[in-house]
Chains A and B, each alone.
Chain A
Amino acid sequence: MTTRRLLLVFGSLAAAAALVAGLYFGRAGFSADGRDAATLLAITLPDASGTPQTLAQWRGKVLVVNFWATWCSPCREEMPEFVRAQTDLGARGLQFVGIAIDAPDKVRAFADEIGVNYPSLIGGYGAMELSKTLGNRLMALPFTVVIDRQGAIVHTQLGPLRDAQLRSIVGQLL
């Protein structure tokens, strides 16, 4: 049947295009696959209540580090999905950590309101510079880094990390 054939052709073309695009962008440095997260895991930042926290304390978990701010609406929009993923997959070893480029009182207010169930650390210019070394060329937000249990960077994402994509990435690591 013609419609079916068209659909099949279109589907195959789309798949091929996606594969080519994926390969191209993979090569162009979109993914920091296999890179060592040592510099990121070596940092210590205060949490929203001022207590210093090392990122190394979560070594061995599948770590999702999300750079965000309250003044960034796409950041705020995706966070309820992170909260749900933390609830669903936390017991299997998934750990989210937020690094907010923001003032502690704003971070606390926002985290309380949406019930953020993972640590929110407070980063400044240094944290943004660090994200730049991980591929965040323009130091824009949101920027998210997925690190496997061995401490290797598996994925970096500028802009929203959609739930399906997040779960497909971490699903292979848990």
Chain B
Amino acid sequence: MDSLPTSTGSAPNRPFADRAAAADRGRAPGRDRPGGRRIGAGAGGPARMVVLAAALATAGWAAVAAAQAKLLEPERAFAFAGRGLDDRTIEARFVVADGYYLYRDKLKFSLDGAVLGAVPALPQGKVKDDEFFGKVETYRGMLLVRLPLAAAAPGRSVTVRAESQGCADIGVCYPPQVQQVTVALPAAGATPGVPVEAAPEKKRWFN
């Protein structure tokens, strides 16, 4: 089995103290979440406003609970597939469901049955300002990564393993998961293979 790190390093650390100081001042920036909405001043007596605020807050919690009830299994939120592009290239694919995202610096690919010829080039992600880790890049929607093999291997079966970690916008993160598919490399000059989708696996990552 061959394993290479991806081309991204870990995100630069920002002093946590900055963040703690922000928290001490009250609410840290960017912390508005569903359910925590501010009720603006408007018509109606104070008592009525309190009732309304309480009702909205409860409705907000219920809405969050409802969204959490619909949370996807991680292998569905981050659907992995692969295909043989040509006799020396495998294309890895993630389809990230709406409302979910993957971290670029947590993506790792490894192969069984062939050797990677270079560190896979990961596309630029969307830069997100993480309160603790500084700038991190995330992927949404479709993600395609080409995995170049060290040598042509027409017709060979190769297993691609992808380790990934992502979260849902609702405020929930999944542990890193490993998904794998076995793809056949096409003959030299042949058309690319059909994508093979990873079967949901019960067993996931753990330390």
Contacts and interface: CB of A to CB of B under 8 A. Distances in A.
Interface of A: 1, 3-4, 7-8, 10-11, 14-15, 17-19, 21-22, 25, 28, 30, 69-77, 80-81, 101-103, 110, 113-115, 124-125, 128, 137-142, 158-160, 162, 164-165
B71 interface: yes
Nearest to A20: B62
Given A25-B66, A30-B65, A77 B131 contact: yes
Nearest to B106: A71
Nearest to A81: B23
Contacts of B33: 160, 162
Nearest to B31: A77
Interface residues of B, number: 52
B170 to A, nearest CB: 6
A15 B20 CA distance: 36
Interface in B37-61: 42-44, 48, 51-52, 54-59, 61
Contacts of A77: 28, 31, 131
Interface of B: 15-17, 19-20, 23-24, 28, 31, 33, 35-36, 42-44, 48, 51-52, 54-59, 61-66, 68-69, 71, 73-74, 106, 130-132, 165, 167-168, 170-176, 204, 206-207
B42 to A, nearest CB: 7
B42 A72 contact: no
A152 to B, nearest CB: 21
Given A18-B59, A71-B165, A80-B28, A113 B66 contact: no
A114 B20 contact: yes
A41 to B, nearest CB: 23
B28 A8 contact: no
A112 to B, nearest CB: 8
Contacts of B206: 124-125, 128
A17 B62 CA distance: 9
A110 B52 contact: no
A51 B172 CA distance: 29
B16 A138 contact: no
Nearest to A139: B175
Contacts of B71: 137-138, 140, 158
A159 B167 CA distance: 11
B69 A22 contact: no
A19 B56 CA distance: 11
19 contacts: A4-B48, A11-B48, A14-B55, A14-B59, A15-B54, A17-B59, A22-B62, A71-B106, A73-B173, A76-B131, A110-B132, A115-B20, A125-B206, A125-B207, A137-B71, A138-B73, A138-B174, A140-B74, A141-B174
Contacts of B56: 14
A73 B44 contact: no
Nearest to B57: A164
A18 B68 contact: no
Contact of A10 (B52, B174, B175): B52
Contacts of B42: 7
B69 A28 contact: yes
Given A15-B55, A69-B173, A138-B73, A21 B66 contact: yes
Q: Which of A10, A76, A101, A110 has the largest count of B CB atoms less than 10 A from its CB?
A: A76
B61 A165 contact: yes
Contacts of B20: 80, 113-115
Given A4-B44, A110-B132, 14 more contacts: A14-B56, A14-B59, A17-B59, A18-B55, A73-B167, A74-B167, A77-B31, A77-B131, A101-B175, A110-B16, A113-B19, A138-B74, A142-B172, A158-B71
